[in-house]
Amino acid sequence: MEHTFSTEEIEQYQYVPVNSAQAYRDRMFFLLEEVNRVMDARDDLDRLIGNNPRSRMYDNHRNHAAFMATVFALNNYGMLLSVVPWVYRAYASQGFSYDYFPVHLRAWQKVLEENLPPDDAAPLKGIYGRLIASHETFIALSRETTFLEIPAGNSRREEATVRFLEAVLRGDSATSLTISSEQVAGAADLEDFYQWVVRPTMYRVGEMWERGEISVAKEHLASAVVNRILAAHYLDFVMKSDPTRGTVIVAASANEFHEIGARMVASAFELDGWNVEFLGADTPVEDLLEMVAEKRPFVLAVSATMPFNIEHVSRIIERVRALPVWVRPKIMIGGLAFRHLSDPSGLLGANGYAGDCAQAVDLVRKWSGEVIE
Ligand code: B12
C-alpha cells in the first residue's frame, strides 16, 4: 500500500487561489529555468546531487514544475503528499543527498518571490514552506517500503502469471509465447489475458525494480518480451478484425514513456470494431492535434502513468476542447497517473475516464449510443 496522510495533515495545506495557480502555470517554463540557475550557482551542488549529471537534476525540476502546476490547479494535496516520499526515494536511490530537497524547494520560494506578483506568490510559497517543514517526515516515509497495490488476480490465470513473470524476466520469448498461447485460444480471451496476466506481471516487475531486486536492464528486457508477445497476439487475433466503425486515436501524452497499457487499450478498441490509430509513447501535443485534424476520430484516448504528466494531458484536453464542435473528438483518459484523483475526467475536463480495457470499451459503446444508460 502507498502511504496516505491523514485528512488533518492534508488540510494544513492552504487552498491556492485560481490566479496563483494560473500564474504558476503560465510562467512555469521561465520559473523552472530560474530555479536551475539558482541551483547551478551553488558551490555545493555536486555534493547535493551526488555527482549525478546535472541533466538528471534538470529533469527533476521540469517534472516537479509540471506536477506542481497540476497540484495547484486541482488543489489536491493528498496527491502531493503521496508522491513526494516516492520522489525522495527515487532520487536518493540515485545518489542525491536528502539535503538537496529543501534546498531545491527553497530555490522555488526565492524564484516565486522574485518573479510573481506578491499576491500570486504568497500562497504558492506557503505550500513550499509546508513541504520544507515536512522534510524529516518525507525522509522517514521514503524509507518505508510502500508499493503500488497489485490488483488481486483472476485465480484461473494466477499460476500462468507466475510462470509468465519468470519467463519474461529471463528474457525467454519462446517460453513466454508458449504460456501466453495456452491462455489465449482466440480473440475472446485477449482482454482477460491482458488484465489478469500481463498487467499483474508488469506491476510485479515494477515492484521488484523499486525494491532493488532487479536492475533497469532486467525491467527493459521484461518489457521488450511483453511487447513481442502483445505483437504476436495482435497479428494473430486483432489485426484480422475488420474495422466497421469510426476512428479512435490512442496515444500516451508528451513525456510519457509507458505505453504497454495504452497498447492493450488500443487493441481492445480494435477488437471491438474500431479503426485504431495507436501512436505509442511520448506524443507531442501539436503533432497529436494535427493528427486529430487529419483523422477526425470519434474518440481521442490519452494515457498517462506518471503524475507529473497530468499537466501534459490537461494541455491536450484544453487544446481539443478549443476545436470547433464538428471536429472535436470525445476525450477519454486513463492510466496510473490518475489513481490519486477521485473524479479524473470531471476535474480535467475530459469526457470520461476508464480504468482498464473493458471499461474503456464500455464507455465508447455508451458514447456511440449502443448502450442506453
Ligand atoms: C515498464 C515500465 C517502464 C518502462 C516503460 C516501457 C514501455 N515500453 O512502456 C520505462 C523504462 C520507459 C519506464 C520509465 C520510467 N518509469 Co516505469 N514502469 C514500468 C512498469 C514496470 C510497467 C508499466 C506497465 O507496462 N504496466 C502494465 C500496464 C498494463 O498497466 P497500466 O499502465 O496501469 O495500464 C492499465 C490501466 O492503467 C489502463 N490504462 C493505461 N493507459 C490507459 C489509457 C486509456 C485511454 C485508458 C482508458 C486506460 C488506460 O488500462 C491498462 C490495462 O488495465 C511500471 C510498474 C507498474 N506498476 O505499472 C513502472 C512504473 C510505472 N515506473 C515508474 C517510474 C518511477 C519510472 C521512471 C520515473 C523511472 C526513472 N527514474 O526514470 C521512468 C518515467 C519515464 C516517463 N517519463 O514516463 C514507477 C512510477 C511510480 C509513481 N509514483 O508513479 C512505477 C510504478 C514502478 C514502481 N515504482 O513500481 N518504466
- For ligand 1, atom 73, name the residue with the nearest CA: 257
Average pLDDT over the chain reads: 93
What pTM did the predictor assign?
A: 0.93
CATH tag, 7-143: 1.10.490
Strands (E) across 282-364 are located at 299-303, 330-334, 352-353
Q: 305: CA distance to ligand 1 center in Å? A: 5
Average pLDDT over residues 292-315: 96
Determine the Cα–Cα distance for residues 354 and 333; give it in Å rounded to an integer: 7
Alpha carbon 31 to its chain centroid, in Å, reads 23
Point out the ligand 1 atom lying closest to the alpha carbon of residue 282.
Answer: 78
Is the CB of residue 169 below 6 angstroms from any atom belonging to ligand 1? no
256 ligand 1 Cβ < 6 A: yes
Tell me the CA end-to-end span of the chain in Å, nearest whole number: 34
User: Atom 18 in ligand 1: which residue has the minimum CA distance?
Assistant: 206
Whether 357 lines ligand 1, by a CB cut-off of 6 Å, is: yes
Is the pLDDT confidence value at 148 over 70? no
- Which of 305, 333, 359 has most ligand 1 atoms within 8 Å of its beta carbon, as the pocket-test mutant? 305
Q: For residues 293 and 287, what is the distance between their CA atoms, to the nearest angstrom?
A: 10
DSSP character for 280? E
Residue 144 half-sphere exposure toward CB, CA atoms < 13 A = 16
Does residue 148 have its Cβ closer than 6 Å to ligand 1? yes
Please give the distance, rounded to the nearest whole angstrom, from the Cα atom of residue 12 to the centre of ligand 1.
31
pLDDT at 147 over 70: no
Q: Beta strand 330-334 with 299-303: parallel, antiparallel or unpaired?
A: parallel
Domain boundaries, the chain: 7-143, 155-238, 247-367
Determine the CATH number of domain 247-367. 3.40.50.280
Can you tell me which residue has the cell 500500500?
A: 1
pLDDT computed for residue 151 by the predictor? 65
How far does the centroid of ligand 1 lie from the alpha carbon of residue 206, in Å? Answer: 8
User: Could you tell me which of 242, 244, 344 has the C-alpha nearest to residue 303?
Assistant: 344
The residue whose CA is least distant from atom 56 of ligand 1 is 203
Task: Say how many Å lie between the CA of residue 281 and the centre of ligand 1.
Answer: 11
- 3-state secondary structure at position 115: helix
Closest residue by CA, ligand 1 atom 80? 306
Q: Is the pLDDT of residue 124 over 70?
A: yes
Residues 6+ apart with CB under 8 A from 43: none
pLDDT at residue 3, as a whole number: 52
> What does the pLDDT look like over 82-115, one tens digit per residue?
899 999 998 998 899 999 999 999 999 999 999 9
Q: Is 356 in the pocket of ligand 1 (CB under 6 A)?
A: yes
Q: How far apart (Å, rounded) are the C-alpha atoms in residues 95 and 315?
A: 33
pLDDT tier at 371 (50, 70, 90 boundaries)? low
pLDDT of residue 96: 97
pLDDT bin (cut points 50, 70, 90) of residue 242 is confident
**C-beta of residue 69 within 8 angstroms of C-beta of residue 331:** no
Q: How far is CA 133 from CA 90, 117, 121, in A?
A: 20, 24, 18
Whether residue 227 is predicted with pLDDT greater than 70 in this model: the reply is: yes
15-45 pLDDT, tens digit per residue, is: 899 999 999 999 999 999 999 999 999 999 9
Q: Provide CATH code, domain 155-238.
A: 1.10.1240.10
* Ligand 1 atom 44: residue of nearest CA: 334
Determine the atom of ligand 1 nearest the C-alpha atom of 263: 41
User: CA 189 to CA 160: how far, in whole Å?
Assistant: 14
**Ligand 1 atom having least distance to the Cα of 250:** 45
Dihedral sign for Cα 349, 343, 255, 114, please.
positive
